[in-house]
């Protein structure tokens, strides 16, 4: 814990004060908003509500989820970035809000790394390529065969324009050398439902929104975009194993606060999150949702994001070359 605190206090952009992350138990204590950029009922929303419940207990004050949907999470990220840096407004974000949105929404001038302070990485889940279990596409190579049969081509669904899943789909098209129409939805659960109803051909999504449909063999995962096979679905190959180059993306989830939040508030919240995520029961529950606990304190998380930024800059160039 002390190492986490020391590291976070070293983050140069903070305005220092004698305050710590507010933990008052008085009835008048202001509640904390945990902001999510996707619709209620989805996988990220479920993760947020589970985390909010645990933080309410830890902080001894109400923590509630607020859904601010739109623009691939950009609206939620902008809302938190513009909030008062008092520790009362927190963002649960993924690569979409921090890196991908600025590729697809240039007019919004979104830059998560400049406007937000990284607190902790909390979890990860693979982005998967899935088909309906009744589809003729049973492996990646089958996509070529199916494309030849379809004069109008194939399409793929994602959790929304500007999402990590959308980006992966665009890169996949380039690497495959085929054209596919993108069908965006408001969240992974809605996109999964469309695949289940045979309204789309393929789906790029986090594992969590489609996990319930895998148990009943209603959907089929044919590849994961991670560098290595996921321990949650070890039988599924990576895209690299299917011969599609070495590009890979990790779909992580992290906690952010507004820029200029006092350093002691950041470090204190990171400590609380480390304790929540260190609970074996909580980790088991996350695994049931399709997530793997992957805690990083704010200093380590910041270094991780620096490397991620390089990866997404390369991805942006790939997309531009494909256009």
pLDDT average per 10 residues of sequence, the chain (323 residues): 46 35 51 93 89 92 94 89 95 92 73 88 93 95 91 90 88 88 88 95 91 87 91 91 79 95 95 95 88 94 93 80 49
Question: Percentages helix, strand, coil for the chain, rounded to the nearest 5?
Answer: 45, 20, 35
Question: Do the beta carbons of residue 187 and residue 38 sit within 8 Å?
Answer: yes
State the pTM of this model.
0.83
Which pair of tokens denotes residue 41? 């009922």
Question: How far is the C-alpha of 301 from the C-alpha of 294, rounded, in Å?
Answer: 10
- Which residue do the tokens 């889940």 mark? 125
Rounded Cα gap, residues 73 and 162, in angstroms: 8
What sign does the dihedral 182-186-187-192 (CA atoms) show?
Answer: negative
Q: By C-alpha distance, which of 126, 128, 114, 72 is closest to 97?
A: 72
Q: How far apart are the first and last CA of the chain?
A: 47
**At residue 8, what are phi and psi to the nearest 5 degrees?**
-70, -35
* Model pLDDT, residue 14: 34
Which structure tokens are listed for 35?
A: 């902001």
Supply the pLDDT for residue 8: 59
């Amino acid at each position: 814990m002390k190492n986490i605190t020391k590291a976070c206090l070293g983050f140069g952009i903070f305005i220092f004060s004698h305050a710590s992350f507010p933990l008052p138990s008085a009835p008048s204590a202001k509640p904390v908003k945990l902001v999510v950029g996707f619709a209620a009922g989805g996988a990220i929303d479920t993760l947020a509500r589970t985390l909010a419940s645990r933080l309410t207990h830890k902080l001894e004050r109400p923590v509630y989820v607020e859904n601010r949907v739109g623009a691939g999470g950009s609206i939620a990220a902008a809302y938190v970035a513009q909030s008062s840096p008092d520790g009362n407004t927190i963002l649960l974000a993924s690569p979409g809000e921090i890196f991908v949105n600025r590729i697809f929404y240039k007019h919004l001038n979104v830059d998560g790394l400049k406007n937000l302070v990284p607190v902790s990485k909390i979890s990860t889940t693979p982005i998967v390529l899935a088909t309906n279990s009744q589809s003729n596409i049973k492996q990646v190579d089958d996509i070529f065969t199916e494309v030849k049969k379809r004069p109008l081509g194939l399409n793929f669904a994602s959790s929304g324009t500007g999402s990590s899943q959308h980006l992966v789909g665009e890169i996949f098209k380039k690497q495959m050398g085929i054209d596919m129409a993108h069908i965006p939805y408001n969240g992974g659960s809605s996109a999964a439902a469309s695949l289940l109803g045979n309204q789309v051909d393929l789906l790029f999504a986090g594992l969590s929104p489609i996990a319930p449909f895998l148990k009943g063999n209603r959907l089929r995962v044919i590849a994961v975009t991670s560098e290595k096979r996921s321990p949650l679905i070890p039988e599924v190959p990576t895209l690299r194993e299917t011969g599609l180059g070495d590009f890979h993306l990790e779909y992580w989830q992290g906690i952010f606060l507004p820029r200029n939040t006092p350093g002691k508030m950041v470090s204190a919240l990171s400590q609380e999150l480390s304790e929540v995520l260190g609970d074996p029961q909580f980790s088991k529950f996350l695994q049931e949702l399709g997530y793997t606990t992957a805690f990083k304190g704010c200093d380590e998380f910041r270094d991780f994001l620096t490397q991620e930024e390089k990866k997404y800059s390369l991805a942006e160039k790939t997309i531009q070359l494909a256009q």
